[in-house]
Structure 1
């Protein structure tokens, strides 16, 4: 079964429900994840509009939203969750690219450290908290996205899977579904030019692939950092993101079939 929803101008759009979870199964057609929608075609907008989305969580920083504003479908009325926290400083990813030596090892080292920080960044805590509050309200389908739909989005999807009772193996499998060879074929050359605009030259094909990819060690770095700081992911969800017993019960009732 494929979870990817093929769109023309929106990358990495897929359903992150329909996993075995907590003795049951997550619903399909309720939870969606994607990259940005700035390049969405009219046909893409029609397809997204048909999903009945009631909440859109935009995990991007303010400058990212300004550079690539989201296109919306006719009659768009979904609640949009975003924020401008921490948007005044330099983007850590862009700062890294300016000094990147094009080696895969350097990139992976940055990514692991980045994932260790992500769960505790104030802007992420705010966005994640409001996302789970929206899920608890059980109004309908939700779309979460960032720029590429792989890192920030991947972490939030993983936290959702954990809360729902999805196995660690399936959680990681969903995260790794970003590594789509067809996606590289579509956008690899363009991403190479994008990277060169910061690094000064086009990286090797292997380095570009590494920049587009995710690795299990990345998402596990986030989980390990959460467990080191709070003892468990459940404790983090409750004490940091406000998912108390009542909210958890409401979310499970909403996302489980």
Structure 2
């Protein structure tokens, strides 16, 4: 891993260009995902508009509290919406139970996922979602935003799995920029990479819920207005 590679924010991508329902497509410049930003990062070339105007940091309270967020500025608002507790982040042997972790996020953090949806629908864009690796917590949150907008499960899984192409840089960054986590990072959850069955289980939960993913979101506090605003903001007719 060269100095140049580790100083560029890995696993960063614009989620525009994905086919959605009714012949629509997701817009570019609206929603980004990435691994953990770090102080002194070089300007990324993977997206057109940088920095994002709104950042949603999905890390736990302990992770978030270690330092001022490097993207926070007069022009960029940072929202902390934790999807896993400090204890859950530090728990050992997580890689063998990744699907269970994702299901616990749905059970324990459903209202927080809906809050992410609300922020994405209403806050200035582009909106960047990240955690530490940009894989698990980010993967579940991004899946909700994509599925709500009508992106098909196969395309959501494909985006989720593309994180595996970046895991070498992601793990190097976590080791360098999150030393406060000690031996819990890189943990086995990160070392296992993205596992399709884990995100497929999440998508199945939403699609089998009465009313589908919209019904699930509404059962956790989403309003019709939020769902409509997000779909209108994130998709466009082709």
Which TM-score applies when normalising by structure 1?
A: 0.73
- Give the Å deviation of 1:20: 0.8
* Structure 2: tracts of 5 or more residues without a match: none
- Give the Å deviation of 1:16: 1.6
**What is the alpha-carbon distance in structure 2 between the residues aligned to residue 247 and residue 86 of structure 1?**
24
2:197 aligned with 1:255: no
Q: Could you tell me which residue of structure 2 aligns to residue 95 of structure 1?
A: 91
After superposition, the Cα gap between the structure-2 partners of 1:133 and 1:176, relative to the gap in structure 1 and judged at 3 Å, is same
SS for the counterpart of 1:253 is: helix
For residue 221 of structure 1, the aligned residue among 192, 201, 206 is 201
For residue 143 of structure 1, the aligned residue among 128, 133, 156 is 128
2:63 aligned with 1:78: no
Do the aligned partners of 1:132 and 1:243 also contact (CA within 8 Å) in 2?
no
**What is the alpha-carbon distance in structure 2 between the residues aligned to residue 222 and residue 213 of structure 1?**
17
After superposition, the Cα gap between the structure-2 partners of 1:7 and 1:24, relative to the gap in structure 1 and judged at 3 Å, is farther
Largest Rg, 1 or 2: 1
**Paired residue total:** 229
- Give the Å deviation of 1:47: 9.0
After superposition, the Cα gap between the structure-2 partners of 1:91 and 1:140, relative to the gap in structure 1 and judged at 3 Å, is same
Which TM-score applies when normalising by structure 2?
A: 0.78
Do the aligned partners of 1:16 and 1:33 also contact (CA within 8 Å) in 2?
yes
After superposition, the Cα gap between the structure-2 partners of 1:56 and 1:167, relative to the gap in structure 1 and judged at 3 Å, is same
- In angstroms, what is the RMSD of aligned CA positions? 3.7
Trace 1:32-111 onto structure 2 (pairs within 5 A). Answer: 32-41=32-41, 43-44=42-43, 50-51=49-50, 53-67=52-66, 69-72=68-71, 76-83=74-81, 90-96=86-92, 100=93, 107-111=94-98
Q: Could you tell me which residue of structure 2 aligns to residue 129 of structure 1?
A: 114
- Give the Å deviation of 1:142: 0.5
* Structure 1: tracts of 5 or more residues without a match: 1-5, 101-106
Trace 1:151-230 onto structure 2 (pairs within 5 A). Answer: 151-180=136-165, 183-184=167-168, 187=171, 198=183, 211-226=191-206
